[in-house]
Structure 1
């Protein structure tokens, strides 16, 4: 379900970007003030308010309890996602690619930024939590295998002693060159030592990957705050746009 949602939303985001990039080929000064331009503008603005409603419900505990009796948060999130992409598409169509005013340019730029930042946060950065969980499970398996190898190698103090020179970081990297794969089955101790070194390398690699993903996860929290802040900036610009549209004469439904 989530994979299908990702494909659909990705297509809608691409459609939005293509609609925005159409301004070199199409430019209409009067479409935004026409009847259909007004329909697209009002419809897009209403849809863009749905994510705001989702944010309010999510942050207000009492309201959340009341709403989730009828609609699940997962459904509300789906509405948030689709409305948050469809609304900007309609708004860009409403503009008629008329980017003459500073307000219009700022409003269009913030609309694109909010949608793209939301897409990145939802489908790219949120995947790090899943990756961390999978890598921690892998790390647990590697550590179990490592502990078993240590126990097996403990019965051979001579071989265990031979591994001490490779305890450091750089010496561990060169261990595979000195502990070559044994050719005879009787060289089991050497084979166990080589397995132990390789397990240690794998554990180090997975631990580094987990640490990197944890850093990205922290950035995801900051990214979410950034997305919320620019969303409110967008709503502020929308209010200014609507105010001036009414102030200078509402011609949409003439």
Structure 2
């Protein structure tokens, strides 16, 4: 996400959580059935259908080709994000903080889970991908320095043997105390070529490689998290459909009997 978009969406998610957490302090049992309550509920439900439309467009090639003539996928994704957060805020307001029926409680809990999981997946996945690119660039620079140093070592067999003595994990920790900070007089007097810096360089490469592997692992798990987000989204739509059905069914019965 762009920085401004990230700030706005984060603010909306925080607003949704604050609105939801208002139930211990506020309850309006009749608001959901009032005119304004209906406006908030219907508007929120329609906005919550926008992410469903985005998922369908993204996966149906013909539909995607037709729709992208008028709006890019990036624009549709922005609609998906904003509608997917704004809709639940309106639905929470529509509820009047009255959570009594099992269906209403399940719908509210699933809605919050979908929004939070989608936000985390979107933000963290982007952050992890960015960090992987940065770490790979950093690794490339370290490898260049390492290759240059390796060529220099060919002319310095004595220092090579000295460095090999600190190849183990615990011995590397003590390298700063025993290895000389400067190279031997006959070698090039550069900081990168000193025995101590050579060990530090090897440790830096190992650390960056470990960080990349860790980020790749997180990225794989977030790929599974995205599938989980899609599954619970469809569960949410099922609960929403039931809620709308019962609202119309019992609402029409009450209207006809009055």
Q: State the TM-score bracket (shorter-chain normalisation).
A: over 0.9
- What residue in structure 2 maps to residue 192 of structure 1? 194
**119-128 or 185-194: bigger deviation:** 185-194
Q: Secondary structure at the match of 1:204?
A: helix
**173-182 or 233-242: bigger deviation:** 173-182
Give every structure 1 segment of 4 or more consecutive aligned residues whose post-TM-superposition deviation is greater than 3 Å. Answer: 182-191
For residues 204-225 of structure 1, what are the alpha-carbon distances to aligned partners after superposition, in whole Å with 9 as ceiling and x for unaligned?
1100100110000001101100
For residues 93-139 of structure 1, what are the alpha-carbon distances to aligned partners after superposition, in whole Å with 9 as ceiling and x for unaligned?
00000101111111110111110001101112321111101100100
- What residue in structure 1 maps to residue 30 of structure 2? 30
| Counterpart Cα distance in 2 of 1:31 and 1:236 | 24
For residues 53-96 of structure 1, what are the alpha-carbon distances to aligned partners after superposition, in whole Å with 9 as ceiling and x for unaligned?
00000011111111111110000000000000000000000000
1:238 paired residue among 233, 240, 256: 240
Could you tell me how far 1:147 is from its partner in structure 2? 0.8
Contact 2:180 2:194 in 1 (8 A): no
| Counterpart Cα distance in 1 of 2:90 and 2:213 | 42
| Counterpart Cα distance in 1 of 2:34 and 2:136 | 57
Distance 1:110 1:82, change over 3 A: same
Number of residue pairs aligned between Structure 1 and Structure 2: 253
Q: Secondary structure at the match of 2:165?
A: helix
Scaled by the length of structure 2, what TM-score is found? 0.93
1:219 aligns with 2:221: yes
Scaled by the length of structure 1, what TM-score is found? 0.94
Contact 1:44 1:88 in 2 (8 A): yes
Q: Secondary structure at the match of 2:171?
A: helix
Contact 1:150 1:196 in 2 (8 A): no
- What residue in structure 1 maps to residue 165 of structure 2? 165
RMSD: 2.1
| Counterpart Cα distance in 1 of 2:182 and 2:159 | 14
Contact 1:156 1:189 in 2 (8 A): no
Q: Secondary structure at the match of 1:248?
A: helix
- What residue in structure 2 maps to residue 106 of structure 1? 106
- What residue in structure 1 maps to residue 9 of structure 2? 9
Contact 2:183 2:190 in 1 (8 A): no
- What residue in structure 2 maps to residue 201 of structure 1? 203
1:125 aligns with 2:129: no
Give the gaps of 5 or more residues in structure 1: none
Could you tell me how far 1:171 is from its partner in structure 2? 2.4
Contact 2:183 2:194 in 1 (8 A): no
Could you tell me how far 1:167 is from its partner in structure 2? 2.1
- What residue in structure 2 maps to residue 82 of structure 1? 82
